[in-house]
Amino acid sequence: MQIGVPKETWPGEVRCALVPANASKLIKLGFSISMESGAGAASGFSDALFTDAGVTLAPRADVIAAADLLICVRKPDAAEVSLLKSGAVTISFLDPFNEKTLVESLATQGATAISMEMVPRSTRAQKMDALSSQANLAGYVTVIQAAFHSPKIMPMMMTPSGTIRPARVFVIGAGVAGLQAIATAKRLGARVEAFDTRPVVAEQVQSLGAKFVEIDLGDTGQTDQGYAKALTPEQMAIQREGQKQVISQSDVVITTAQLFGRPAPQLIDRDMIESMQPGSVIVDMAVETGGNVEGSVLNETVEINGVKIIGQGNLPGEVARNASEMYSNNLVNLLQEFWDEEAKQLNLDPEDEIVQSCVITRDGAVVNETIKNIYSGA
């Protein structure tokens, strides 16, 4: 079975879907691998490292057309889909909620499309969970960016010249990214507070040495996958009011709130921004899905009333080497889980719960029930 690895062409994407160490593992399993030259260069992996691992270099069109299994970080474009052989398998962050035309073209082409963001959050699938592996790195990056842009240092310093108080950091959302942001800010010596609509995560926040901000929103809960549920307009108003004072006293605010498959909720309005001291920093991690912060702009740092609002997209790409390694590990774990050693092919059992969750198209049709219902308006 031949794997194809094209170079990522999405604007600003510098990650690579496969790293040399994992290429060697897959070749030992029985795969052959063809890769476009330069696919790993932006994340620090030269062509020589791949060829030493047994990978063959080929032109982009040949890599795609010959692939039984095409692995990417970002979704393929329409031109690439047209090159796929019937029956090919694609694996990527497909964004199926927002890419109906692309998904339907994959079905028409006869491709089996696996969406990495649809891998379920379960014990068995944890090692394949690329959303979490990338969010973990993104949480780290947000704090480093905030520290770079802030005119204050993070830790307390007691010197003969005087005492510098620690920076106050407020993290909104304590999922994978938020917890890593909390941990990183604490390691840098900041005073950290955090809030999440799911009271169940308070203990995790406190275990990292941060204070959990209590805001009574009534019944909120979480989905079966562990994601926060959307709040009612009344609950949103209570949250904004409850976090307003904490925001006004913070040197850094990091927002991580996203709703799976839906636009991100706006949590910080202009009044809250203007209540902060000039020189304060806000990092909007949700900017790619609509943003948590009024006025944030994708891939820009804007300033409102002296407050910097960072809207950097593709945060894992800021640490592209590690992000590529983690994503590649997730892919290899998925392939190993469904690899038939004797037949030397993938066995994507349609009755398997992981397959049911992450396979979007198969045998000429959209087969994922969640996505089918969204497309049909059900």
Catalytic residue among 62, 74, 95, 121: 121
Q: Is 132 noted as a catalytic residue in this protein?
A: yes
Residue 247 and residue 169 in contact, taking contact as beta carbons nearer than 8 Å: no
Beta strands, E only, the chain: 2-5, 32-36, 56-58, 69-74, 89-93, 112-115, 157-159, 162-164, 168-172, 191-195, 211-212, 252-255, 281-284, 301-304, 307-310, 339-340, 345-346, 359-362, 365-366
Residue positions counted in the chain: 378
Contact between 125 and 131 under an 8 Å Cβ cutoff? The reply is no
Q: Which of 132, 222, 248, 345 is catalytic?
A: 132
Q: What is the DSSP letter of 1?
A: -
Alpha carbons 136 and 114: distance in angstroms, whole number = 22
227 tagged catalytic: yes
| Residue 39 token pair | 């696919």
Which of 227, 275, 336, 375 is catalytic? The answer is: 227
| Residue among 2, 24, 122, 126 flagged as catalytic | 126
Minimal CA–CA distance to 60: which of 86, 82, 34, 42? 34
Active site residue 121: yes
Tell the burial category of 365 from Cβ atoms under 10 Å away from its Cβ (0-12, 13-18, 19+). exposed
- Between CA 356 and CA 364, with CA 358 as vertex, the angle to 5 degrees is 75
Active-site amino acid positions: 121, 126, 129, 132, 227
